[in-house]
Structure 1
Amino acid sequence: MYVAVKGGEAAIDNAHRLLADRRRGDRSVPTLGLDQIAEQFALSVDRVMSEGSLYDRRLAALAIKQARGDLIEAIFLVRAYRTTLPRFGHSEPVDTGAMQVERRISACFKDLPGGQLLGPTFDYTHRLLDDELDGDPAVEPGALRDGAAEPATQIADILGGEGLIEEDPLAPGEPGDINQTPMEFPLSRAMRLQSLSRGDEGFLLALGYSTQRGYARSHPFVGEIRIGEVEVEVFVPELGFAVPVGRVQLTECQMVNQFKGSAKTPPQFTRGYGLVFGQSERKAMAMSLCDRALRAEELGEDIVAPPQDQEFVISHCDNVQATGFVEHLKLPHYVDFQAELGLVRTMRAEYEATRNEDVEIREAAE
């Protein structure tokens, strides 16, 4: 039970006004428009869409502006809005093999069919601050935006043609829905992938890094990373076939791992998979590393590290849940603390009394 604070409502109203004032900042500086955020802070928008589980660039930009650039708060806002939306159907599985690729690289094959397509990336830039960005950079509108005209063959299909990689381990049928189904462990791989896809990038990155440092059986290669747009289709019963309803940008990562095989399975490569909204390849890579680690029991490997423990990973990867649990500590806990304070005072008094008795016994013995 919390103790009511006199004048609390007025203080909260004032806090809201102060927040709005700080959000606006210096009035001599032009305010940011949502189109500016969506276009010029695109990677932040992509993260908010991915971890907010809602593909809408304008709403993600609005959330970033409202949250003053705090991406986890923006993700929370998008998630909250998402819960108000009606669910009237579901799309067909997207075909990433038919993706109109903007970026596509492989660390396994240099001369892969379709070629390496570097696309927009920080990979080859110098990590030096660029003063020329303090203004409009000299780039022609729409310059260098053309991607591959044709879909590119997936690396897993090339390895699969030689029987060197396992079949796609995703079970057929309904994948389940973490938003509609209570979470009970063990989860199916499809539901784990859903959770990882909207999991916190930093948390998954740390876990993925740990697998490379020996905290799981992992010797990964980036089979392929591809970024591009795919068509989304919805099956219409009245028509008897699926119709396209739009396009979304996705980042897909296929991680290839060594596997020595077992009594029933020959030596081959196994898969780790990552798929997220927008251009978020660091998140997709971390997701694929975690996905492979979480398949330890399925592949007959010993579970020896946190990234292989699905309850540990899935229960802690959601930054909205984590934020709520951590930040609730800011709420009034006056009654709880007074109870703890009384307990510590009592224990301290008992400790001092016992200590004094011991001192008197030693003095008497001397």
Structure 2
Amino acid sequence: MYVAVKGGERAIEASWRLLDEARRGDTRVPELSVAQIREQMRLAVARVMAEGSVYDEELAALAIKQAAGDLVEAIFLLRAYRTTLPRFGYTLPVATEDMVVARRISATFKDVPGGQVLGATYDYTQRLLDFALLAEGDDSAALAAAQAEKAARTAPPEEAMPRVLSLLDKEGLIEQETRSAEPKEPGDLSREPLAFPADRSVRLQNLARGDEGFLLAMGYATQRGYANSHPFAGEIRFGSVSVEMVLDELDEAVEIGEIELTECQMINQFAGAKDVPPTFTQGYGLAFGHAERKAMAMALVDRALRAEELGETIEAPTQDIEFMLSHSDNVEASGFVQHLKLPHYVDFQAELELVRKLRARHAADTQGEAA
């Protein structure tokens, strides 16, 4: 047993060395720095921050480098690091309506207060490989000038950008959000395990850190009829918002920094209920960084999970709260699937003996019937 253990330790240490070599790749190629990942792979960084539940671009970039580009592994690394951090307090809810917008579009109204701001997006590209990106040795001065010109072109507009849904709200055509007389403290999934029944605050937390691929597939399913929804992108906005925190020493809120967020408000048809006239309802999505696909998918799933609340018939898995929330976390899903790579020798031997006995019994029964 001791020999086997020592041999296993040596094999694992050798695996670590091989992993380092594989991650580095050909040493004749310049090493990718954390700063390069942070600046040039911003969409990957945004996903790792969102699903890792930590807003820190440098740490997310470090995790991506350490994981050799495996985003689920990077999310696992960041979330594991998160558990070591102390919590000093809670910030106030961010005011996304006051967002300094870098991109803002609506698919419901052509002319909206503040206008449509296309910003930086792949939506209008032709999806053709740009072989010019293979060129190396960009002139730093030319690059700096290009970046300055880009910043001038994409400077956020100064005029106010009220929410698009306020246009529907003025006519009373969209559901009204009401505050409870006794507000309930929202749950905290970063400290408490997921439990059912789960209210909307817990569901949104779960979806915000849920796997983008899973949410995308489930959101797509709702559009194909597995939730009976007909969605419209009311508004998608990306930009920076101030984060404020109340300090005990000052007894007032102070700004402690800014973060970038993507917010999506999805509009859905609703036929109404006994005491509720036909109206539009909402699905909501919010994610760190520039993550429109994640925020949109989240909004689609959020609306589907409100079926019981709105008196709709639950017919599809996308409307099943327990199914959706229990399977959306890629860290848990990855761990459960990948644990199959660990030794299961004893379990398998037991199964093997059982199958052998069952086959022997089956053969005996077959011979008995033939006789």
TM range (shorter): over 0.9
Secondary structure at the counterpart of residue 147 of structure 2: coil
| Length-normalised TM-score, structure 1 | 0.95
Partner of 2:72: 72
Superposition deviation, residue 151 in structure 1: 3.7
CA RMSD of aligned residues (A): 1.6
SS at match of 2:283: strand
Does 2:207 correspond to 1:193?
A: no
**Structure 1 residue 180: deviation in Å?**
2.1
> Aligned partners of 1:145 and 1:133: how far apart in 2?
22
The 10-residue stretch of structure 1 (136-145 or 288-297) with the greater mean CA deviation from structure 2 = 136-145
Equivalent residue runs for 1:1-366 within 5 Å: 7-135=7-135, 136=138, 140-142=146-148, 143=150, 144-168=153-177, 172-359=183-370, 361=371
1:7 is paired with a residue of what secondary structure? helix
> Is contact 1:100–1:151 with CA below 8 Å preserved after alignment?
no
- Note the C-alpha offset of 1:357: 2.1
TM-score (norm 2): 0.94
Matches of 1:43 and 1:182 in 2, distance apart?
29
- Please tell me the residue identity of whatever aligns with 1:203: F
Distance 1:170 1:329, change over 3 A: farther
- Per-residue CA deviation, residues 98-133 of structure 1 (Å, 9 max, x unaligned), is 000000000000011110000110100001101011
How far 1:182 sits from its partner (Å)?
A: 3.1
| C-alpha contact (below 8 Å) 1:99/1:151 kept by paired residues | no
Percent of aligned pairs sharing the same letter:
61
Q: Deviations over 1:208-265 (max 9, x none)?
A: 0000111012010000000000000001133221100000000000000011111111
The structure-2 alpha-carbon separation of the partners of 1:44 and 1:169, relative to structure 1 and needing over 3 Å to count, comes to farther
Label 1:191 to 1:170 Cα distance change in 2 as closer, same or farther (>3 A).
farther
What CA distance in whole angstroms lies between the structure 1 residues aligned with 2:178 and 2:33? Answer: 44
Q: Deviations over 1:254-305 (max 9, x none)?
A: 0000111111111110000000000000000000000000000000001100
Q: 1: distance between equivalents of 2:173 and 2:296?
A: 21
1:5 deviation in Å?
A: 5.1
Distance 1:6 1:115, change over 3 A: same
1 CA distance for matches of 2:311 and 2:110?
Answer: 32
SS at the partner of 1:229? strand
Q: Given the superposition, is the C-alpha separation of residues 231 and 15 from structure 1 closer, same or farther in structure 2, using an over 3 Å criterion?
A: same
Shift of 1:173: 4.2
User: Deviation at 1:6?
Assistant: 5.5
Q: 1:74–1:117: structure 2 CA closer, same or farther, 3 Å change rule?
A: same
Task: Work out the CA distance in 1 between the residues paired with 2:210 and 2:179.
Answer: 20
The residue aligned with 1:364 is none
Tell me how far 1:178 sits from its aligned partner: 1.1
> Is the CA contact (8 Å cut-off) linking 1:224 and 1:255 kept in structure 2?
yes
Structure 1 SS opposite 2:354: helix
Q: Would the aligned equivalents of 1:101 and 1:151 in 2 still touch at CA under 8 Å?
A: no
Structure 1 residues 342, 75: CA separation in 2 closer, same or farther (over 3 Å shift)? Answer: same
1:295, 1:170 → 2: CA distance? 17
40-49 vs 156-165, which moves further: 156-165
Q: Distance in 2 between matches of 1:50 and 1:217?
A: 28
Unaligned 5+ segments in structure 2 are none
Amino acid at match of 1:247: E
Unmatched segments (≥5 aa) in structure 1: 362-366
